[in-house]
A = this chain, B = another copy of it.
């Protein structure tokens, strides 16, 4: 039985665990993510990896790491603005200097979709898209059983979907879909401090908040319909912070897909909420490091 260390490096916290090829998770740890620069992150990752390996007393044959941004396969560089600013950093080279075992680095969205298709709600699906809706909107895509990376590893930047022929200034900064439907957009619609506050108000029956949820859901539905039309997936998995309130969004999204996506593809697709929650990334990172040998 093969085991690896999975590391889910987020913008604010780092989770790690040992995961075997059946998906069994042990030696979990979770700490605030080191901030400041890549060197601090690399040292923290190396430390955490050594720690869980020591505790587990298992032989691990690799490390799977996902980062909150982009991992460039050819150069080994990574881009994660919340951690390291807007420049690419030589993450793989630095980590290889600190660690003696093979390391696989991927984007968080690649991890989420891989985790869900391995052990989550999309188990066994060869064509599945994970749509993460939180502070931003991004998609991890598996098509024909393979991760879709794009020519330069930045596929899935669906937060930039243009969904409105009118152009508003804010679209230039984060893209139209994200500006209309991510968490901050929901809050902004009613001047709330956070998406959580807007959701709470909507649940309490506040008319403006309910309208804001409707407006965000309209755009969520459009973007997801577009993913269905272009990729004909078996399943869309919804995750990310805003989807903790998925009960408010799921029906409007499904309706919108039925109304707006290619009709046959719309009938074929299932739209579901993540089953793995925060573990999607950790399990996905493990699966990516295990490679084709995973049996799950």
Decide if B154 touches A264 in the complex (CB within 8 Å). yes
Q: Within the assembled complex, what's the spacing in Å between the Cα atoms of A126 and B146?
A: 14
B260 pairs with A150, CB closer than 8 A? no
Q: When chains A and B are docked, how far (Å) is the Cα of A227 from the Cα of B229? A: 11
Task: Determine whether the beta carbon of A150 is less than 8 Å from that of B143.
Answer: yes
Task: Please state if B151 and A232 are interface contacts (CB–CB under 8 Å).
Answer: yes
Chain B hits for A143, CB < 8 A: 143, 148-150, 155
Closest beta carbon of chain B to A70's beta carbon, Å: 9
Are A259 and B167 neighbours in the complex by a CB distance under 8 Å? Answer: yes
The answer to the question of A231 belonging to the interface, with a C-beta cut-off of 8 Å to chain B, is yes
Residue positions of A touching B, CB distance < 8 A: 125-127, 139, 141, 143-144, 146, 148-165, 167, 171-172, 175-176, 218-219, 222, 225-227, 229-234, 256, 259-262, 264-265, 268-269
The answer to whether A157 and B260 touch across the interface, beta carbons within 8 angstroms, is no
Q: List chain B residues, Cβ under 8 A from A127.
A: 150-151
Please judge, given known A-B contacts A126-B151, A268-B151, whether A160 and B234 are in contact too, CB under 8 Å: no
In the complex, residue of chain B having the shortest beta-carbon distance to the beta carbon of A158: B230
Q: List 23 A-B residue pairs with CB atoms under 8 Å apart, sorted by A's residue number.
A: A143-B143, A143-B150, A144-B146, A144-B148, A144-B149, A148-B231, A150-B232, A151-B232, A152-B265, A153-B232, A157-B230, A157-B232, A157-B262, A160-B229, A162-B222, A162-B260, A163-B163, A163-B165, A167-B259, A175-B229, A175-B262, A227-B230, A230-B230
Contact: B260 with A176, CB < 8 Å? yes
Nearest CB to that of A263 among chain B residues?
B160
CB <8 Å contact, B226 and A226: yes
Contact B265 A230 (CB under 8 A): no
The answer to whether B165 touches A218 (Cβ under 8 A) is yes
Q: Report the Cα distance A262→B176, complex, angstroms.
A: 10
13 A-B pairs besides A143-B143, A165-B218, A165-B219 with CB distance below 8 A are A144-B146, A144-B149, A150-B232, A150-B265, A151-B233, A152-B264, A154-B232, A154-B264, A155-B232, A158-B230, A162-B222, A162-B261, A226-B226
Q: With A150-B127, A150-B231, A230-B155 in contact, is A162–B165 under 8 Å at CB?
A: no
Interfacial chain B residues near A226, Cβ < 8 Å: 160-162, 226, 230
* Cα(A265)–Cα(B79), bound, Å: 14
Q: Is the CB of B260 within 8 A of A160?
A: yes
